Amino acid sequence: MSQENVEAFKRAVDAFNRGDVEALLEVIDPEVEWHDVFAQMLGGEAMVYRGHEGVRELWGDLSGAFTELHVEYSEFRDLGDRIVAIGHLRVRGSESGAAIESPFGRSLSGRPAR
């Protein structure tokens, strides 16, 4: 992947943190497969959301589960056909109010940025 893709990933993260799903969808591939880690972190089943409609569904699920959801990446590694981003995640549960702060990483591969 190129520096252009790293920059597109950063725009996607910014949109995600703002809760701007439409801006997020402008950056990501329409055939995206988003493997959600949040359900697994909380003891649930692994979920895969496909396409832009899947990302909208994911956002609805996350918005219902968390009152706060923020990720910051401090390091990006361009590995040619994939990007690895390393950072920090902060969430707060909607029902419990419990906060989770944790190191967090994301691996991204796929088509060039739009």
pTM summary value:
0.83
User: How far does Cα 72 stand from its chain's mean position?
Assistant: 10
Is 3.10.450.50 the CATH classification of the domain at 3-109? Answer: yes
Query: Would you place residue 114 in the very low, low, confident or very high pLDDT band (cuts 50, 70, 90)?
Result: low
Rounded mean pLDDT, 85-111: 89
User: What's residue 111's pLDDT?
Assistant: 54
Average pLDDT over every residue of 61-68: 90
Question: What are the structural domain ranges in the chain?
Answer: 3-109
The three-class DSSP label of residue 90 is strand
Q: Higher-confidence residue: 112 or 75?
A: 75
Which structure tokens are listed for 24? Answer: 């997020």
- Mean per-residue pLDDT, 48-64: 93
pLDDT at 45: 80
